[in-house]
Amino acid sequence: MFEFDQYLGFLAFLTILTIGFWLMIFLLTFVIPYWVGGAIMEMIKEKREAKKAAQNS
């Protein structure tokens, strides 16, 4: 059915596909929401500081 080099190529393909799948799951569930949440928090802090600076002057 398969020769040995075809079998190794198929295993390499499945390994790369699996690694890519879990990497996408990790990025979509943890990294991107953390990044977006941090950017929103930073934007809110900057607006608060600008409002305080405007009130003090």
- Residue ranges making up the domain that contains 15: 1-37
Q: What is the pLDDT along the chain (57 residues), one digit of tens a residue?
A: 779 999 999 999 999 999 999 999 999 999 999 999 999 999 999 999 999 999 987
Residue 20 lies in a domain: yes
pLDDT recorded at residue 45:
98
* Identity of residue 4: F
pLDDT recorded at residue 25:
97
pLDDT recorded at residue 2:
75
Residue 3 lies in a domain: yes
Residue 28 lies in a domain: yes
Domain count, the chain: 1
Residue 9 lies in a domain: yes
| CA contacts within 13 A on the Cβ side of 46 | 6
27 in Cβ contact with 36 (< 8 Å): no
For residue 44, give both structure tokens: 């809110």
Tokens 């569930």, residue located: 29
pLDDT recorded at residue 29:
96
